[in-house]
Structure 1
Amino acid sequence: MSLMQVGMTLPIMEPDLGPDTLEEWSQAIDAGPFSSLCFGERMAFDNPETLTLLGAVAAWTDRVRIVTTVIVPQLHEPVMLAKALATGDRLSKGRLTAGFGVGGRDEDYRAVGAELSTRTMAGMAERVAVMKRVWAGEKVTEAVRPVGPRPVQPGGPELLVGSTGPRTIRSAAVWADGLAGFELDLDLARAETLFDVARTAWREAGRTAPRLTTSFWVALDDGVGGARDQMHRHLRHYMNWLPADLVDALAPTAGFAGTEDELLAVLKQLEEIGADEVHLVPTTSDISMVERIAAAIS
């Protein structure tokens, strides 16, 4: 079907995830028809470390764009993060898009000794500015040579801001190339409003139109009504920093749970409101999800 681009996220937040599963998923996503392969960051959890995984995914794939949705810059020293992402861009031969966000969990900041006072858009923007200087080849220290390697993409990888709120979007318009949104309950009217906020903010900042991407959890119908149960199990594991009764209240309407045809209808609606790309977030590590969605969107 003719549609805006569709990316697939690795199942890194699922329990008991081995390297064979990650490699199998990466290669299946790279085989198409997906436009991007995505994965994000948590610290106080059992997911793979993001920058290490970036190197592996670059080696496992040849075609698909690699998108980090999202890394929290405040959890990293910015020069080291710039070097790691530039290395990832080189290993992937220029296929990297970096999504950045301030993060929604205090425990991740505490896990690495990061100051909670830096959990602001200003704190993130300061680190992005340092990284852009590194990618431009500037000397940010008194070393003999600047910090390398230089990224393949001039000036560094495409940058997306991870956000679900207007204030964050407006503040990122000066440095980000686009938006990496997330739809908790697939409120498409709200998504359209945020897209409009982004377009206005970028225009007022004198920037070219932003790349508009968003994402949501997906559970596919198994023929016996188990999709919503799968969603619930996933959220109970992933959203472990929230009280269980709150997660239980969110689960009945969170994300998408249904058939392939119903998923295509949601994707069509997102295309109609102007999404450039949608990143699907799996709620299982079963490779059949990749295969079923690939068949549906081909």
Structure 2
Amino acid sequence: MTMPVMEPDLDSTLLRDWARTIDEGPFSSLCWGERIAFPNPDSLTLLGALAAWTERVRLVTTVIVPQLHDPVLLAKALATGDVLSGGRLTVGLGVGGRAEDYRAVGADPATQTMRKMAEAVAIMRRVWAGEKVTEAVLPVGPAPIQPGGPALVVGTIGPKTLRSAATWAQGLAGITMDLDVAKQNELFDVARQAWQQAGRGKPYLATSFWFALGDQDNARDQVRRHLLRYMNWIPAEFVESIAPTTGWAGTEDELAEVLRGFQAVGTDEVHLIPTSSDVGQLRAVADVIAEVSPVA
């Protein structure tokens, strides 16, 4: 389950209630995304709070853009999050889809490439290994709980990007706009082949989609309103054109059926993205998840 960080009017009480409800189960992971030029909470600050508010669930960034950060400071922050969470952190990384976020922090949009992301990953891995990356007396710490650092997954929907990440990522944290299970499995096959060719074994395979529970008209309108707010860098008329077929809207039973479809093609996790901060919808989805894939 993804935190409702892109919704309006957030406060610490609401975020804490979501985190603790997710942690109660049966969700396997708690996710949250990063934006800069938007009123969402800062991802790395939130990581510390989420580590304190939860005890069981895995924490997954979906995704952080390393080119928006100094890689050494990012490595230190993520290692701190791994320590505070007791080694429960998985780091999803991506190049990002918004040049405005790069400009907001003074980063060069020309670095919005897989090569630059891989370079940042290499530096972070050196920091987590305890290597000196500067002339400091001591290496940059703290040491992460997980040997070698938090697990890394790549956030992408493109085969080329996915293949290039096979050398450093443990798998994929993607997104499906239209919930086409067969098309998603084609991307999973690309990952399976790329990881095999890289001698990396079986990749972790995750996808995500926006959701809203309720009767079809109201739930679909909820998704639409969320997309118009979230996709504010895209012309509104384009968002309106894709809103009827983007994400999922419907009843609990229909959601269970969709999740079983992804389960059948070997999806390790589905990261559900809320289109409302209503904790009631979160609890309703928890009941669906318990039925589809109970957590031991």
Counterpart residue number, 2:179 = 186
1:14-48 superposed Cα distances (whole Å, 9 cap, x missing partner): 01111111000000000000001000100000000
**Counterpart among 103, 124, 134 of residue 131 in structure 1:** 124
Instruction: Name the CA distance, whole Å, in 1 between partners of 2:208 and 2:68.
Output: 23
Matched, 1:263 2:260: no
8 Å contact kept, 2:64–2:92: yes
| Unpaired runs of at least 5, structure 2 | 291-296
1:244-293 superposed Cα distances (whole Å, 9 cap, x missing partner): 00000010000100111111111111011110011000000000111101
Counterpart residue number, 2:80 = 87
Instruction: Name the CA distance, whole Å, in 1 between partners of 2:95 and 2:103.
Output: 14
Letter in 2 for 1:281: I
8 Å contact kept, 2:216–2:249: no
Counterpart residue number, 1:4 = none
Superposed displacement of residue 225, structure 1: 3.0
Instruction: Name the CA distance, whole Å, in 1 between partners of 2:216 and 2:122.
Output: 51
Matched, 1:105 2:98: yes
| Unpaired runs of at least 5, structure 1 | 1-7
TM-score, length of structure 2 as denominator length? 0.97
**Counterpart among 136, 143, 159 of residue 143 in structure 1:** 136
Letter in 1 for 2:155: G
How do 1:199-238 residues align onto structure 2 when only pairs under 5 Å count? 199-221=192-214, 223=215, 225-238=217-230
Matched, 1:70 2:63: yes
Matched, 1:285 2:269: no
Distance 1:220 1:151, change over 3 A: same
Letter in 1 for 2:149: G
Superposed displacement of residue 61, structure 1: 0.3
Counterpart residue number, 1:272 = 264
Instruction: Name the CA distance, whole Å, in 1 between partners of 2:205 and 2:256.
Output: 19
- Root-mean-square deviation (CA, aligned residues, Å) is 0.7
Counterpart residue number, 2:239 = 247
SS in 1 for 2:244: coil
SS in 2 for 1:58: helix
1:191-237 superposed Cα distances (whole Å, 9 cap, x missing partner): 0000000000001011121100110000111x473000100110010
Matched, 1:155 2:141: no
SS in 2 for 1:12: coil
**Counterpart among 16, 30, 41 of residue 23 in structure 1:** 16
8 Å contact kept, 2:62–2:173: yes
Superposed displacement of residue 143, structure 1: 0.6
Of all paired residues, the percent bearing the same amino acid is 65
Matched, 1:117 2:133: no
Instruction: Name the CA distance, whole Å, in 2 between partners of 1:44 and 1:190.
Output: 32
Letter in 1 for 2:284: R
**Counterpart among 162, 169, 172 of residue 176 in structure 1:** 169
Instruction: Name the CA distance, whole Å, in 2 between partners of 1:236 and 1:84.
Output: 32
SS in 2 for 1:249: helix
SS in 2 for 1:46: coil
SS in 2 for 1:252: helix
Superposed displacement of residue 184, structure 1: 1.0
Superposed displacement of residue 76, structure 1: 0.3
Instruction: Name the CA distance, whole Å, in 2 between partners of 1:135 and 1:256.
Output: 39
Superposed displacement of residue 296, structure 1: 1.6
Instruction: Name the CA distance, whole Å, in 1 between partners of 2:227 and 2:194.
Output: 33
Instruction: Name the CA distance, whole Å, in 1 between partners of 2:202 and 2:287.
Output: 31
Counterpart residue number, 1:3 = none
SS in 2 for 1:225: helix
Counterpart residue number, 1:5 = none
Counterpart residue number, 2:293 = none
1:35-85 superposed Cα distances (whole Å, 9 cap, x missing partner): 010001000000000000000000000000000000000000000000000
SS in 2 for 1:159: strand
Structure 1 residue runs of 4+, over 4 Å off? none
Instruction: Name the CA distance, whole Å, in 2 between partners of 1:247 and 1:188.
Output: 22
Counterpart residue number, 2:294 = none
